[in-house]
Structure 1
Amino acid sequence: MGISVGGIVSGIDTDDMITKLVAAARMPQNVMKTQLSDTESLKTAYETLSAKMDDLTTAIEAIDTADEMRSTTSTSSDDSFVGITATGAAVAGRYTVEVTALASEATSISDAVADSTTLGTVAEGTFSVTYAGTTTTLTLDSTNSSLEGLCDEINDNVAGVTAYIMDTGDATTPYRLVITGDDTGAANTLTLDTSGLTGVGSVPTFTEMSAPQDAALTVNGIAITSADNDVDGVVTGMTFNLNDITTEPIVIKVADDTATTVANVKAFVDAYNTVRSYVNAHRAWDSDAGIKGEFVGEATIISMMQGFQTVLSAEYKTGASYTGLSSIGISTQQDGTLELDEDVLTAALEDAPDEVTNLFETDAGGLGDKFKAILDLYNNEDKSSVSVVAGKNVVTLGGILTDRMAAIDDQISDMNDSIDAFDLRMDAYEARLKKTFTAMEIALGKLQDAQSQLTALLPSTDSDSSS
């Protein structure tokens, strides 16, 4: 850096002069830093908006199917016998259920032995397991010819079957091998063939403890069988959970839950209003007050909100009476936010629930489809990319907001590089100024020294010497 003499000869405060010159030269960088700060604020605004749009996506997806849009409540007169799970597709009504048999799985157990781990205690050879019509043949040899070895072979190789060693606590022969099917239902039979175990050792004998069977029940007097104790598909939107054989009819009641549906629609309205209000706040501009929101002039934001508004105000061919948001009590306010009249929506749901459902349902050609398309177009988390396929460039489009944020990231990176480069130029400029002023001070010092020497050589002009 060199030595600065700081105006010691000239009397000029060169350090202060250098500081001011460098500060003046840095003025363009100050503008750059302000632009960087504004760009970073814009990035933060986009990131926050994207998160709010994620919440909006969650809200619309909570009402975009018939099951979700049409909520129901369901009760059982005694769920220790029969429980009930109902979706929005269930038809409201009263159902009686009687259970005469529960579905069960096949289980077999071996005779008891004194030792479960010693090799050679089970005869070597082949052991076959046939489960649900599929046969698997296992081989026992000197490495696994024990009850535990057979158990491991079954668990490792036979799909749909579980085996385990049971310790009964008997004083002499406590160990038994239990083999059970994983699935209930009469079709899931279990057959064990020990005829291939011909080597030295004992051949286990198996006893069937329970045979596989289907559940048997009646729903409103109609006989039904099921391989599972959770019986679905018998009545649309309903699953009967069979827990015990009944001694009297169990009454299942299903009712429409309009209040929950209204709450879910309100959650969508609130989520949209959160996005809209955030955009409004960050598009505010008042030159007199010095207010300029981050989204002022952002064409991406303008086009996205126009797209939302178009979808929200449109009419759809999804019903006869309820074809748009205004018909179900949702109106657009002056600031672009939505307002929900819950009484109007409740009346629409009670009058024509299918039409209201179709308005929001995916693949029904209504608002739900169009609204989610805009969300995906703008807030898809993937960035656009270009790949080469068969020698041709193929463009894969990502989310518009995602691409905009990526572009902003690139701007921020470039700005930081420019600011860093400017710092280097200012450091060099400051070093040159110090070198220049130091040289000046040294030159002035030499001149003063020469002047002193010349003065000493001149004859004296003292008035006393002439008298």
Structure 2
Amino acid sequence: MSIQIGGLATGLDTNSLISQLLKAERKPIERLERDRSFLRTRLSAFTDLDKKLRDLMAKAEGLDSARKLVANQATPASEEYFKVSASATAMPGSYNINVVSLAKRAKEVTQGYADISAKEFGTGSLSVQVGSGEAVQIQIDENNNSLGGIRDAINAAGAGVKAAIINDGDPDNPYRLVITADDAGTPVELSAGLSGGSYADPLFTQTQEGTRAHIQVDGIDIYRTSNTITEAIPGVTIDLLKEHGDATASTGLQVDLDVDAVEKKIREFVTAYNDIISFVAKQNDASWGRDAGMQAPRRNLQMMVSSAIGGDNSLQALTQLGMETQRDGSLRVDATKLKDAIRNDLDGVIGLFAGSGEVEGVAVKFKDYLKGVTDRSNGILAGRKQMTDSSLRRIDQQIERQELRLEQRERTLRAQFTAMEELVSAMSATSSYLMQQMSMISSLGSKK
């Protein structure tokens, strides 16, 4: 490696000179870096637009059918006996419910035993009969004739029951086998036929009778095998908590349209729409703000907002729900008018967003259009990303080549300046030697 003198001979700041020369030659790289930054920023803008379009699509999908748009609320006079929830198909009205009995699963328990793992039972079979079904015979042999083995054999038999072992705290025989029916309201009969062994055969005692849930809705008896009851009232789910204990008692239930919940869904749709309008407007100062991919969604969405859906639906346009387009293109919602429409013409609101028959509603049109422009293969972002990635790869390659060229240029410059310094240093040494010789000659001449 050659020694870099760095201006010792010439007095020049060669490092600074080289730095300035390289800085001037770096201009093309800086232009490429600005182009790269621009492309990344533009792609980020289209990525943000895609996210907002997807958000609007999700809100539109929440309005594209009566089931999604409509929200009902079920309100009991008290939550002591049951809790309720209502779906979009719930039938509005007033109801009286009496909880006669809760669904319970039959339980059988054995006497206590001293050990879980000891194989002290005899061998033979256990008989398990659930309801009116055929009894299941469970074989007990030398491999499973412990309390834990019997439990596992019962659970593996698929007989319609589950077995568990509890510890009741008895100092001598604390372990007891508990059998629980899989389904409420189903009776269970168990018996053991074992021979040999030091442990007595399990004797099963019923601790809980299997009963079905029983409620009365406006005096009509309804039975289920679960404490979660559906379709006793269309669209309403009732979770039973406690029996009334009095045949004449009942708890009132009111099912109504949830106007606020429906309004909230529509407002969320409007908010997502306004977010796109505002975002696109903010891009106007950037060159990509004039890109067709940025402007087209706004124009198309505005056209769909202002167009009538057609057909014979009582509501034809969003303006009839109290939505007005502002100067900046956003929508403003008249809350009073929107709630009145939901409360007094729910079918019209559903038809406006979800459509009916051959007529597409506003939400359906939005959803279909937005699916296309956000498609991961052919959508707006997909197209811009493909072009941008190609351009970025090309720029990165150009920058890499330019950087290699500059590295070589720096080595060349340093070699040239080093050579110059060495030459000047040599000339200085020669000059000093000649001056010394001239001085000596002059001195000799003066002595004569």
Above 0.5 in TM-score? Answer: yes
Q: In structure 2, what is the Cα distance between the partners aligned to 1:193 and 1:407?
A: 76
1:105-144 correspondence to structure 2 within 5 Å: 105-110=105-110, 112-131=111-130, 133=133, 138-144=138-144
Contact 1:43–1:409 (CA under 8 A) maintained in structure 2: no
Aligned to 1:354: 347
User: Measured at CA, do residues 162 and 58 of structure 1 come closer, stay the same or move farther in structure 2, by a change above 3 Å?
Assistant: farther
| Cα displacement (A) at 1:25 | 0.9
Range with bigger deviation, 347-356 or 45-54: 45-54
Aligned to 1:69: 69
User: Measured at CA, do residues 434 and 134 of structure 1 come closer, stay the same or move farther in structure 2, by a change above 3 Å?
Assistant: farther
Contact 2:83–2:240 (CA under 8 A) maintained in structure 1: yes
| Cα displacement (A) at 1:26 | 0.5
Range with bigger deviation, 401-410 or 83-92: 401-410
Q: Which amino acid aligns with 2:326?
A: Q
Q: Which amino acid aligns with 1:337?
A: S
* Number of residue-to-residue matches in the alignment: 438
Range with bigger deviation, 154-163 or 300-309: 154-163
1:87-166 correspondence to structure 2 within 5 Å: 87-110=87-110, 112-131=111-130, 133=133, 138-158=138-158, 161-166=161-166
User: Measured at CA, do residues 118 and 347 of structure 1 come closer, stay the same or move farther in structure 2, by a change above 3 Å?
Assistant: closer
Q: In structure 2, what is the Cα distance between the partners aligned to 1:192 and 1:447?
A: 117
Structure 2 residue 300 is the aligned partner of structure 1 residue 312: no
1:16-35 correspondence to structure 2 within 5 Å: 16-35=16-35
Aligned to 1:264: 265
Q: In structure 2, what is the Cα distance between the partners aligned to 1:139 and 1:411?
A: 74
Could you report, residue by residue, the CA deviation over 1:61-101 in whole angstroms, capped at 9, with x for unpaired residues? 44444344223332212322233212232232111122323
Please give the root-mean-square deviation of Cα atoms over the aligned residues, in Å: 3.5
Q: In structure 2, what is the Cα distance between the partners aligned to 1:367 and 1:170?
A: 70
Q: Which amino acid aligns with 2:143?
A: T
Q: In structure 2, what is the Cα distance between the partners aligned to 1:446 and 1:134?
A: 115
Aligned to 1:438: 418
Contact 2:129–2:159 (CA under 8 A) maintained in structure 1: no
Aligned to 1:344: 337
Q: In structure 1, what is the Cα distance between the partners aligned to 2:134 and 2:273?
A: 55
Q: In structure 1, what is the Cα distance between the partners aligned to 2:312 and 2:399?
A: 60
User: Measured at CA, do residues 175 and 306 of structure 1 come closer, stay the same or move farther in structure 2, by a change above 3 Å?
Assistant: same
Q: Which amino acid aligns with 2:17?
A: M
* Equivalent position SS for 1:316: coil
Q: In structure 2, what is the Cα distance between the partners aligned to 1:119 and 1:459?
A: 121
Q: Which ranges of structure 2 fall in alignment gaps of 5 or more residues? A: none
Q: In structure 1, what is the Cα distance between the partners aligned to 2:156 and 2:380?
A: 50
Contact 1:318–1:355 (CA under 8 A) maintained in structure 2: no
Bigger RCO (CA 8 Å, 6+ sep) = 2
| Cα displacement (A) at 1:277 | 1.0
| Cα displacement (A) at 1:30 | 0.7
1:346-425 correspondence to structure 2 within 5 Å: 346-361=339-354, 365-379=360-374, 383-384=376-377, 400-402=380-382, 404-405=384-385, 408-409=388-389, 411-412=391-392, 414-425=394-405
| Cα displacement (A) at 1:345 | 1.4
Q: In structure 2, what is the Cα distance between the partners aligned to 1:426 and 1:124?
A: 91
Range with bigger deviation, 24-33 or 319-328: 319-328
Contact 1:276–1:336 (CA under 8 A) maintained in structure 2: yes
Q: TM-score, normalised by structure 2?
A: 0.84
Q: In structure 1, what is the Cα distance between the partners aligned to 2:129 and 2:292?
A: 67
Q: In structure 2, what is the Cα distance between the partners aligned to 1:363 and 1:154?
A: 55
User: Measured at CA, do residues 194 and 54 of structure 1 come closer, stay the same or move farther in structure 2, by a change above 3 Å?
Assistant: farther
Q: In structure 1, what is the Cα distance between the partners aligned to 2:103 and 2:6?
A: 98
Q: Which amino acid aligns with 1:429?
A: R
User: Measured at CA, do residues 227 and 411 of structure 1 come closer, stay the same or move farther in structure 2, by a change above 3 Å?
Assistant: farther
Contact 1:122–1:204 (CA under 8 A) maintained in structure 2: no
User: Measured at CA, do residues 96 and 277 of structure 1 come closer, stay the same or move farther in structure 2, by a change above 3 Å?
Assistant: same
Q: In structure 1, what is the Cα distance between the partners aligned to 2:434 and 2:78?
A: 123
Could you report, residue by residue, the CA deviation over 1:95-139 in whole angstroms, capped at 9, with x for unpaired residues? 1122323222222222x1332424333222333545575876544
Q: Which ranges of structure 1 fall in alignment gaps of 5 or more residues? A: 286-291, 385-396
Q: In structure 1, what is the Cα distance between the partners aligned to 2:127 and 2:176?
A: 18
Q: 1:327 aligns with which of 320, 336, 342?
A: 320
Aligned to 2:178: 178
Range with bigger deviation, 425-434 or 314-323: 314-323
> How many percent of aligned residue pairs carry the same amino acid?
28
Q: In structure 2, what is the Cα distance between the partners aligned to 1:181 and 1:377?
A: 53
Contact 2:107–2:180 (CA under 8 A) maintained in structure 1: yes
Contact 2:98–2:215 (CA under 8 A) maintained in structure 1: yes
Q: In structure 2, what is the Cα distance between the partners aligned to 1:408 and 1:33?
A: 14
Could you report, residue by residue, the CA deviation over 1:153-212 in whole angstroms, capped at 9, with x for unpaired residues? 33355376332223333455443211112332x4x55443534x4454532122333343
Q: 1:233 aligns with which of 231, 234, 239?
A: 231
User: Measured at CA, do residues 446 and 284 of structure 1 come closer, stay the same or move farther in structure 2, by a change above 3 Å?
Assistant: same
Q: Which amino acid aligns with 1:441?
A: E
| Cα displacement (A) at 1:432 | 0.6
Aligned to 2:408: 428
